[in-house]
Amino acid sequence: MSQAAAVLSYRIVHELPGRLRLRLPRLGAPGHGPGDLEAWMEALPGVLGVQASRASRSLIVEFDPLTTNREAVLRRLDDYREPEPDETFDTGEESESELAPLAASVLTLALLPILPAPLKLGLTALKVGPTLARGLDTLVNEGVKVEVLDALAIGLSAARGEVYAATVTGLLLELGAYLERRTVRQSDRLLQRLLHPDPAPAWVERDGRLIRIPGSEVRVGDLVAVGAGEQIPIDGRVVEGLALVDQSAITGEHTPVRKEPFRRALGGSVVIEGRLRIEATEVGADTTAARVSRFIREALAKRSFSQREAERLADQRVNLTLGTAAAVYAVTRDPRRVQSVFLVDYACALKLGTPIGIKSGMARAAEYGVLMRGGDAIEQLAEVDTVVFDKTGTLTHSELMVTDVEVLKPKAGCSERDLLALVASIEEHASHPIANAVVQAAHDRNLPHVSHGEIEYLVAHGVSAQLASGRLVIGSRHYLQSHEGFDFSPFDERIERLQSEGKTLLYVANERGPVGLIALRDTLRAETPATLARLRRLGIERLVMISGDRRVMAEALGRELGFDAIHAEVVPEDKAALVQALQAEGAKVAFVGDGVNDGPALTVADVGIAMPRGADIARATADILLMDDRLDAVADAREIAAKTMGLIRTNFRAAVGLNTAILAGAVSGRLPPLGSAVLHNGTTLGVLLNVLKGVQLER
């Protein structure tokens, strides 16, 4: 076993096909909370359910034998390691301390009929004492809260000698509180699986051999080997192998994806079949999985306007209940009516309904590859009426594609295949999008690698390398003409033709002059038209496109897609100003982008939405991150936000309406205290379960 396994030792108690029950003596110790362990095990594809018990030190894992097996489950458990203190996420569990008050109330009810009167009063006082003390402490330290109302209701029954009523009322309140805690835990578990624990151990090539090390110790540039059933511990680039990979835990994309050389691999995803060698590009806290975890933790720490407003209104209604009880007593002098009124509590449904709804919405969005930065992002997106798209990387694919390879001097003996192979062999050492596209094009055409000497880089301009035939220079026209002195003006007609088609050009020259051009273009996403139409159905009134392309090209595309406004030849620094101009007109604006120069626009927009391949600054400033590279995730996010806020409002109105009806029954004397307690707790639980169920998308 690994070092982690030695700490978290276990033994198999019982097993059936698809089910394992294990004893873990250390379960519940610091760093080994049930919630963290459940989240770790649930991340394994094929696991259907996990239940960890602190009390019995046991772990039950149910899995699909067609997808995984007992060896994979046990290997996953072996790989568990203690999370850092700020990374734990333990939603808690049903503990003995929570069940004890319920058991005590039931026992008290069973004993009351056989006890003499003095003992009945004493036992009742002992049972209701904690409730009274809690109410007094709340009144002194926090003011009039629901705990004060509960204490008054039970205290009145006990003071009048109604031992059965006081005990049953206390039992109902305890049962309601217990069910509410369980509902809150369930809402936390919806998000728990998104908070990925530390990466699994990795097989890394060091000094010509494979060694197994903790995932946190992998360094950038290491070559990591990952086989079937293993988790990819880092983000990186596939350098060898072919595999089918499950990325659902990271991107929400439930269909396994094919990974082959030059493709990106995401840490936290799992190899289903095949084997890969991956060059690590992001490790530890920089991996996608770690970023998702941080994003969710930050989101959960934020309280939205709706949450703050719900808490304010809930506190107001506690005073309403107290005032109503005082008025009822002044008019009727009936303590039973006053008890019934005290047991009508708006606060639980109102205070818990909104945060549970927000968590439910965030979890449902994550299932579709959308990360929401808390309740404010959901609220704002639900109110958006204008969506602004930056064309490149959003309406079009973020990956460029080579469309043309032109040899400017064919008589020099260099063919198009030769030119592409030569440029790709040099550009494979770079990591920018144009280089990746050229390398991918050469790979698709099965072109050979061309040997070359040391490479020299000029950031943002180009690259040069020494070949057997002399020095080759690759880069922008400005770099080759202004810095290197190559003249491409004789080829202006061909250059302008390619540029008029919206293509980006890579210029190539050697010591004898210009050699060739490689043209690249981003392509329109297949889902773009349908996504725009769906956004209009979801209430978006205005669709705006921003592009740096020439006006003729941008307007042609914008008209074809049905945009209401098209802004062409926009320089990066003007994007934020365009968003602010729309806001000045009264629009609620969402901006969708992915580039470094989209950061200001993402920040000033009411909602910033970043595409998955976006730059770090775009992801850092966005309110919503798309983990799956598909544009229709924007429409998914809008629908989830609108339906989540609609569900929260519906449950809010239901909680107020039903509790008001119960209050009216209590005031009129038609509802006894027990009836008031039963109906109130039933209403609260119904509202919470309904909001926990979440929303369904219509796609």
Q: What is the tens place of the pLDDT at every residue in 452-501?
A: 887 887 655 678 888 877 888 998 888 888 888 899 999 999 998 887 77
> In whole angstroms, what is the distance from residue 38 CA to residue 569 CA?
52
Burial class (CB in 10 A: 0-12, 13-18, 19+), 552: exposed
- CATH 3.90.1010.10 given to domain 202-286: no
Task: For the beta carbon of residue 590, count every other beta carbon within 10 angstroms.
Answer: 29
Strands 589-593 and 264-265 turn out to be unpaired
Listed in order, the ranges of the chain carrying CATH 2.70.150.10 are 202-286
Contact 606, 625 (CB under 8 A): no
- Dihedral sign of CA atoms 124, 128, 129, 132 in order: negative
Check whether 381 has a pLDDT greater than 90.
yes
Listed in order, the ranges of the chain carrying CATH 3.40.1110.10 are 401-521
Listed in order, the ranges of the chain carrying CATH 3.30.70.100 are 3-93
Strand intervals (E) in 422-490: 455-458, 462-467, 470-475
pLDDT at 40: 76
Query: How do residues 435-452 score in pLDDT, each as one tens digit?
Result: 888 988 998 898 988 888
Burial class (CB in 10 A: 0-12, 13-18, 19+), 153: buried
CB under 8 Å to 141, separation ≥6 — which residues?
none
Average pLDDT over the chain, rounded to an integer: 80
Tokens of 130: 């904690």
> In whole angstroms, what is the distance from residue 390 CA to residue 120 CA?
74
> In whole angstroms, what is the distance from residue 499 CA to residue 495 CA?
6
CA 475 to chain centre: 38
Task: For the beta carbon of residue 69, count every other beta carbon within 10 angstroms.
Answer: 15
Check whether 183 has a pLDDT greater than 70.
no
pLDDT at 587: 95
- Dihedral sign of CA atoms 150, 152, 153, 155 in order: positive
Query: How do residues 2-58 score in pLDDT, each as one tens digit?
Result: 333 344 688 898 888 899 999 988 776 665 667 777 777 876 767 888 888 877 788
Helices (H) then strands (E): counts for the chain: 24, 24
The DSSP secondary-structure symbol of 524 reads B
Q: Which of 14-18, 163-167, 566-570 has the lowest mean pLDDT?
A: 163-167
Q: Which of 49-58, 149-158, 193-202, 682-691 has the lowest mean pLDDT?
A: 193-202
pLDDT at 87: 47
- Choose, from 390, 598, 629, 636, the residue flagged as catalytic: 390
> In whole angstroms, what is the distance from residue 403 CA to residue 554 CA?
19
Task: For the beta carbon of residue 316, count every other beta carbon within 10 angstroms.
Answer: 12
> In whole angstroms, what is the distance from residue 632 CA to residue 534 CA?
9
Q: What percent of the chain has pLDDT over 70?
A: 82
pLDDT band at 206 (very low <50, low <70, confident <90, very high): confident
Closest CA to 352 of 138, 187, 563: 187
**CB half-sphere exposure, 518, CA atoms < 13 A:** 28
Strands 542-546 and 386-390 turn out to be parallel
Tokens of 697: 């998308």
pLDDT at 61: 92
Contact 545, 558 (CB under 8 A): yes
Contact 359, 188 (CB under 8 A): yes
Q: Which of 84-93, 216-225, 523-532, 640-649 has the lowest mean pLDDT?
A: 84-93
Query: How do residues 416-436 score in pLDDT, each as one tens digit?
Result: 998 999 999 888 877 667 788
Q: Which of 120-129, 175-184, 570-579, 623-632 has the lowest mean pLDDT?
A: 175-184
Task: For the beta carbon of residue 582, count every other beta carbon within 10 angstroms.
Answer: 20
Whole-number CA gyration radius for the chain = 32
Contact 535, 637 (CB under 8 A): no
Contact 423, 518 (CB under 8 A): yes
Check whether 214 has a pLDDT greater than 70.
yes
Give CATH for domain 3-93: 3.30.70.100
Check whether 414 has a pLDDT greater than 50.
yes
Single-letter residue type at 88: T
Contact 108, 167 (CB under 8 A): yes
Query: How do residues 77-95 score in pLDDT, each as one tens digit?
Result: 887 766 555 444 444 445 5
Contact 341, 325 (CB under 8 A): yes
Backbone torsions φ then ψ of 397, nearest 5 degrees? -70, 145
pLDDT at 483: 83
Burial class (CB in 10 A: 0-12, 13-18, 19+), 656: middle
- CATH 2.60.40.10 given to domain 401-521: no
Query: How do residues 274-301 score in pLDDT, each as one tens digit?
Result: 889 999 888 877 776 666 666 666 656 6
574 flagged as catalytic:
no
Cα angle: 492, vertex 494, 500; to 5 degrees: 95
pLDDT band at 619 (very low <50, low <70, confident <90, very high): low
| Long-range contacts of 529-533, Cβ-Cβ distance < 8 Å, separation of 24 or more | 529/561, 529/562, 530/632, 531/631, 531/632, 531/634, 531/635, 532/561, 532/562, 532/563, 533/562
Q: Which of 13-22, 408-417, 521-530, 616-625 has the lowest mean pLDDT?
A: 616-625
Single-letter residue type at 394: T
Residue whose structure tokens are 């000094």: 207
> In whole angstroms, what is the distance from residue 363 CA to residue 381 CA?
16
Tokens of 695: 């929303």
> In whole angstroms, what is the distance from residue 179 CA to residue 99 CA?
11
Contact 617, 357 (CB under 8 A): no
Check whether 629 has a pLDDT greater than 50.
yes
